Amino acid sequence: MKDKVLKPITRWFIVIGSVFVIITLLLYAIKVNPFEVYKLLIEGSLGSKYRIARVLNVWIPLVLCSCGLLYTFSLGLWNIGIEGQIMLGAIGATAAFKWFYPSFPSLYVMVLGFLFAIIAGGLWALFAGILKTKGGVNEIFAGLGLNFVAQGLILWLIFGPWKRPGIASMSGTEPFNRHLWLSTLKGFRVSPVALAIAVSVFIATVFIFKYTKWGLFFKAIGDNPTAGTLFGISVNKYSLFAMFLAGACAGIAGFFQTAGVYHRLIPAISSNYGYLALLIVMLANFSYWPVPFIAFFFACLNVGSIQLPMVLNIDSSLSGIIQGLSVLVFLCVYNFQKLKENSLE
């Protein structure tokens, strides 16, 4: 019993320590004071109420996309198309806002926008799933291809049917009416509704994996698809279901980006949060409990790194290097630790 508790704690301590040491050495190698960088990252992300609000606005879509990826990863599906699914969610929400407002009350239109985002994101992911299960197209290539199509669709809408009156620009569509913005707390620009939705989706994901037959089947198929088939579980059916759930979660993230952050459709509406969520889930070792904490760490890096070019004259892309390096070091050290433990048993 004691070993069961101590082993994971020791493993995580070694992994986190290794990540910290390697990143510190990297910063020294490029002649930057690492402790100055850490201080700026903390101050830049948590130094004021405004910055904490920005961190939470990044945390919300990261958690939503990570929850979606947990479903597909549990089946061994690499849903790289999560970026495109965020974009389709944003397009779905924008379509509802443009088609139904002001003919219907703003509250109804917001609900419709939310549903359109879920359906659009879910169907886009389902399409990649159908290509995989019916056409034999690898989900990685299908997802990448659909990401490019989604990006092209957004640009076509912004410069075509949904362009601003008299002008079309990369700044996006015309801003939505203020009644279609997600409300925020006074002095704290975070939507409590979006926060509640993200937390609810995470709790629902944990519940599905722990207490429902869907979660059990996802894990069973992921561990051994052949055995799943022998027990009468349809691998294709659950693969498609997992893809739809992942796309629906990404679609909600797209709704939040349009109604809660940018208040319009812009070309970079996904902000690469889908790709970041892939790193988060891998860093969490495909487990759900670490996801909110790692997402918060990545959100802090994302927001805090804005300080780096201004104070230390370092490119803000350093945060991306830290994120990628964290995952690589984690995977190497974690797997080495596991192999070592298994050889001793």
Q: Which amino acid is at 280?
A: I
Confidence of residue 326 (pLDDT cuts 50, 70, 90): confident
**Looking at residue 6, what is its pLDDT?**
66
Q: For the chain, how many helices (H) and strands (E)?
A: 14, 0
**Looking at residue 17, what is its pLDDT?**
81
Set out the domains of the chain in order of their start, with CATH numbers.
61-304 (1.10.3470)
What is the DSSP secondary-structure string of 153-209?
HHHHHHHTTTPPTT---TT-SPPPPGGGSPP-BTTB---HHHHHHHHHHHHHHHHHH
Mean pLDDT to the nearest integer, 214-240:
81
Q: What are phi and psi of 284, to 5 degrees?
A: -80, 0
pLDDT per position as a tens digit, 37-91: 888 888 888 888 889 999 999 999 999 999 999 999 998 888 999 999 999 999 9
**Looking at residue 8, what is its pLDDT?**
65
Angle at 60 between CA 54 and CA 64, to 5 degrees: 160
Neighbours of 161 (CB within 10 A): 9
Contacts of 337 (CB under 8 A, 6+ apart): 11, 14, 15
pLDDT, averaged across the chain: 87
pLDDT per position as a tens digit, 21-46: 888 888 888 788 888 888 888 888 88
What is the DSSP secondary-structure string of 230-282?
HTT--HHHHHHHHHHHHHHHHHHHHHHIIIIIISS--TTTTTTHHHHHHHHHH
User: What is the Cα–Cα distance from 213 to 87, expressed in whole angstroms?
Assistant: 31
Q: What are phi and psi of 185, to 5 degrees?
A: -75, 150
Contacts of 25 (CB under 8 A, 6+ apart): none
| Contact indicator for 180, 106 with CB cutoff of 8 Å | yes
Neighbours of 316 (CB within 10 A): 15
Q: What are phi and psi of 153, to 5 degrees?
A: -65, -40
Mean pLDDT to the nearest integer, 291-297:
92
